[in-house]
Amino acid sequence: MGKYILRRLLQAIPLVILISMTVFLLMNLIPGGPLAAYESPGITPEDLERLKHELGLDVPLHIQYWNWLSAIIRGNWGTSIVSGRPVLTEITERIFNTLYLSIVAFIGSLLISIPLGVTSATRQYSKIDNLATTIAFFGQSIPIFWMGLILIIIFNVMIKNPNTGGPLLPGGGMSTIGSDFSFEDRLKHLILPASVLIFFNLGTHVRYTRSGMLDVLHQDYIRTAHAKGLNKRTVILKHALRNSLLPLITIIGLELPGLFNGALITETIFSWPGMGRLFFNSIDRADYSVMMGVLLMNAILIVLSGLLTDIVYGFLNPRIRFD
């Protein structure tokens, strides 16, 4: 097992380097470049030439890439071209905000969707099944931005707090500006964005739980368990559930890096200062070093979560061997 993990990790190194190289090239293919943002009537061509030199953008691409790679190997993620702050500072400033929102939404979604999916599968075509599949369908099809805006209009603009006369729920941000830490305040700010994300995640999670469960329920060993005289609950929760979760685990594995990426649209609508906005802004400003930092982090996370998924598979299904 240890050997397997080590081998997989070693294999990942050239892969990550290859990814970073591709990303670097693609990034430089985007027309414009970081200096486009500076172009304005007040900035002379001489200013632009000087900046280009100072930012190290006047050397050939392969040298730019080598400079970046050799710095990364030494643990230096570089500094943002636009803000001049270290890329790691830019990332760490936001990553906890993103994890806070995405993990709450993720766990919240699983807590709802697993019981819902299981019930829905065991009582196929019942009212509750129809309801669950309808919710899942809506969760997947309603655009996040629309849902977010509707929630803001209802809970922030239309419904007022009867005590204060202000909005019932805040329309954005993580906490009330300038106030001391309060759990209630945090929770209030969390409700709307987390609800949107949970609703969206439900779609996928319910469907995978349901179809996984349906698959397993028709297997012989389940019939055997029933024939042994075990009660229905034990059969479903002890025998069926574990095996039925395999497809969901794959999906969750793929979603793990997403927890760190942040939900761009949700973060944008609810003014959440997270990774999604950092990445979007860095693309907007062609801030190469921040883009590279975020993408590298992503590449590593995807490789790691792939590994993690494979390992968890082994625990859930002992037939899978690592050699």
Partner 1 sequence: MKPQSHIQKMLGVFFAVSLILAACATPAPTSAPATSAPAATVAPAATSAPAATAVPAGPKKGGKVTLAVWQSPVTLNGLLGTQTVMNVVLNLVTEGMTEVQPDGTRVAALAKEVPTVQNGGVSADGKTITYKLKEKLVFSDGKPVECEDFKYSWQAIMTPNVGIVSTTGYSSIDTIDCPDPATVVVKYKAFFAPYLTLFNGSDLIPRSAGDPKGMKDWAHNRKPVGAGPFTIEEWKTDEFIRLKRNDKYREAGKPLLDEVVVRIVPSSEVAMQLLASGEVDIMWNNTEADTPQLEKMAGVKISAPLQIGGERLFLNMAENKDPSDPKKPHAILSDVKVRQAIAFGINKQRIIEKLLNNKAKPGSSELNAGYFECKSIQAYPYDAAKAKSLLDEAGWKPGADGIRVKDGNKLRLKYSTTSGNKLREDSQVLVVEDMKAIGIDMFIENAPSSVVIGTWDGGSPRRHGNFDIIMYTTNAGIDPHSQMVNLWSSANIPSVDNKGGLNYTRFNDPKADALLKQASGEPDPAKRRDMYCQLAQMTYDQANMIYLYQRSAIDSYRDKVLGFTSNAWSNTAYNAKEWSLK
Q: Pick from 75, 178, 229, 318: which binds partner 1 (CB under 8 A)?
A: 178
Q: Kindly report the number of other CB atoms within 10 A of residue 276's CB atom.
A: 23
d(CA 167, CA 157): 6
Tell whether residue 268 is a contact of partner 1 (CB under 8 A).
yes
**What angle, rounded to 10 degrees, do the helices at 87-122 and 246-261 form?**
150
Tell whether residue 41 is a contact of partner 1 (CB under 8 A).
yes
Residue whose CB is less far from partner 1, 121 or 278:
278
d(CA 292, CA 16): 12
Q: Quick one: which segment of 63-71, 86-94, 129-137, 210-218 binds partner 1 (CB under 8 A)?
A: 86-94
Q: Quick one: which segment of 66-74, 91-99, 210-218, 308-316 binds partner 1 (CB under 8 A)?
A: 91-99
Beta bridge partners, 167, equal 160
CB neighbour list of residue 38: distance below 8 Å, 6 or more residues apart: 47, 48, 51
Q: Is 80 helix (H, G, I), strand (E, B) or coil?
A: coil
Contact 174, 272 (CB under 8 A): yes
Q: Pick from 22, 38, 61, 76: which binds partner 1 (CB under 8 A)?
A: 38
Tell whether residue 97 is a contact of partner 1 (CB under 8 A).
yes
Burial of 35 (0-12, 13-18, 19+ CB in 10 A): middle
Residue whose CB is less far from partner 1, 94 or 299:
94
The residues in 183-222 that bind partner 1, with binding defined as CB under 8 A, are 183, 186-187, 190
Residue whose CB is less far from partner 1, 129 or 287:
287
Q: x/- site string to partner 1, residues 46 to 85, per CB under 8 A? A: xxxxxx--xx-----------------------xx-xxxx
Minimal distance, residue 55 CB to partner 1, in Å: 7
